[in-house]
Structure 1
């Protein structure tokens, strides 16, 4: 498997922490020297290991923001 290079350009926040100490983080990241994107995934405490995540460009983030603002979360049956 090819070596994946990443750079956390800016940490935006932590969404949650799991029982193993891993944190679900929102970061602006550059992957393999490419233009930075927003990234949401689990990280170990040293940012050496990562879980599967999702990476979104600016256009996708703005669309997600609009969608979330339209949702009435009181109507949803979720935790």
Structure 2
């Protein structure tokens, strides 16, 4: 398995936390020294392990926001 490098540039918010201390977060993260993207995934308390997640460009995140704002919850 390839080594994945990452750097969390900014913690934007915690969506939830499970009973083992993992937090599902929205972050601005650089993967393999690329341009940072918005990222939603779960992280262990030490930010050494992570789950699979979703990455978004700024345009995609704005589109997601707009879709969520249109929903009747």
TM over 0.5: yes
Q: Give the aligned partner of residue 52 of structure 2.
A: 52
Provide the TM-score with structure 2 as the length reference: 0.97
Q: Give the aligned partner of residue 20 of structure 2.
A: 20
Aligned residues: 73
The structure with the larger Rg is: 1
Q: Give the aligned partner of residue 77 of structure 1.
A: none
* 2: CA distance, partners of 1:30 / 1:48: 15
Distance apart, 1:2 and its partner CA: 1.0
Deviations 1:41-75 (CA, angstroms, capped at 9, x unpaired) = 000000000011101111110100110110110xx
Mapping for residues 1-79 of structure 1, pairs under 5 Å: 1-73=1-73
Runs of 4+ with deviation above 3 angstroms: none
Q: For structure 1, which runs of at least 5 residues remain unmatched after alignment?
A: 74-79
RMSD: 0.6
Question: What SS does structure 2 have at the residue aligned with 1:51?
Answer: coil
Question: What SS does structure 1 have at the residue aligned with 2:35?
Answer: coil
Q: For structure 2, which runs of at least 5 residues remain unmatched after alignment?
A: none
